[in-house]
Structure 1
Amino acid sequence: MKRILLSFVVLAVASAAAFAQSTGDAPYPGSKHVYRVASDGENQVWKIRTYDAVAGFADADLATATLTNANTKEVTIDWGVGVAAGTTYYVQVEDSKAGCKNLRLLPITIAASTFDMLLTFGGGEVCYTNQVDPSIEGGKIAYTHGQAVVPYVFSVEGVNAGDNWSTTVTMGDITDVTIDDLVSTDGTVTVTDNGAGVFTLTGTGVVADITLNLTVNNVKKYLEAAGYNGEAEISPLLSLTAQTILNQKVADKDAANDNATGTVKRYSNSNITFD
């Protein structure tokens, strides 16, 4: 058969910027890269392999990566979000044609991602926007507390100026409490309402401590038997998921600071007393 070329071509997005980027031979956990070989009509089979000095080469765990088009000259590899930085794998391609075979390996060392999104509670005493809305329910006074605006602080680190990123934002379930709105105080971050209390944040480059205002609505009616305040204090848990650098297909480096809990209280809540 004709000579099988012994060169790999690794395709990856790159830019000249301050932060390192995921590359084909040093991919970030969660990143996607394309690997290809020159082909002269051979059949290709791609695998991810590990190596042990005693046991030799072995197929990597299925959670390590997902291979797309693994039987062509060009394969797309989605590296798993759980692969550990510093771990070495080998991208293997086996060529065969007319009874002849060849095997090639490319060493891969997982790199530590610098990409990180951070979410914290904005702090301070958050109260309901308006006074309670009283009503009479079954002969008892009932209080409805309504809306409150809860501030959270959002940051994006470890990205380059041209990196486009996105994340999904949701609030944990609180009985009778709904999300009415999520607003960014910074015009560089776009908030898209997907409905059902799910939002998407998108932007480009580093973001430093911008405020996201979450408007919640506590529609529960609290009866006087529970006291004036009742259970009016709520703790909205806001969470970031699916954090991705879009042009690199890179996930957030860890789960730290992906969740933040705010607190809403009804102040001046003592009962009326009398002589």
Structure 2
Amino acid sequence: MNEPQEFTRPFFPDVESLFSEYVEYYGGTVVEKLESYKTDRQNADFFFEHPVIVAELKTFEKDIFSEPEDIPRLMELFEKWIANGLMTGEDLKEYTFRGNQLPQKCIDDMIERASKTIERAIYKANKQIEETKKTLNKKNANGIVFLINDGNYFFTNQGFLAVISDLIGRKFKESSFDVIIYLTINQATYKEDSELDHTIWVPIYTKVDDQGETIVSDELYSFVNTFGEKFLTEFLTLKTGHKPKAFKQIEGIEESIAEFNKQKFIPKDIIYKK
């Protein structure tokens, strides 16, 4: 009798190459392969003809405040907190070595610093999409920013989405893109009531009318949903040989928040032994 094979979770070491492959599989084009590609300017990553879309991909591959180069930023915050009387040197030791909870103001400072990383990525993507529309003479094209979370555990999924929504409302109401799509690939999440790994795909549209209602064409809305569903259910199945056991599309904000509140990240060093 053959022994059942142990399930191995698929892992993609280069998510940018994976996503570029999917764009071409779907019928889009990698911009640097176009004849009109220019090396003397900022370029977005992808172009689609039907509908006309210019898109940029940004990935977050490491946790904020987790690398050696982040130490100076942390030390700056520690010195600020002590100078402002938010904590003492002894409190800092308790936080550093015993994992004690930081005061809320300190947590807010860290969130603000971490949010800057996301803001810089969106700002650059906005400029790249804007420049590529000019290069391709497609000023009326829709713009999409894909943000792949592939190793940033500082924010939960709902935390990441809250930061993106806040930035759109404060700084990117007038932008070259119409939607930011937040997604996860290797960064699986789990729920206590489920044995499945969960992959996320969430579009956040940027244009609203005077009543706060989302402005999005039927064509773009259909593209975003179809593009996402095909990626999650068809393309990843072709790449891994594993067909998803469930696919759930959530429309309402309240239901989305309730769903994300149930989920927790599975760090790569645990789930993939990396």
TM-score range, shorter chain: under 0.3
Q: Please, what TM-score do these two structures have when normalized by structure 1? A: 0.21
Q: Looking at CA atoms only, which structure, 1 or 2, has the larger radius of gyration?
A: 1
The answer to which structure has the higher helix fraction is: 2
The answer to which structure has the higher strand fraction is: 1
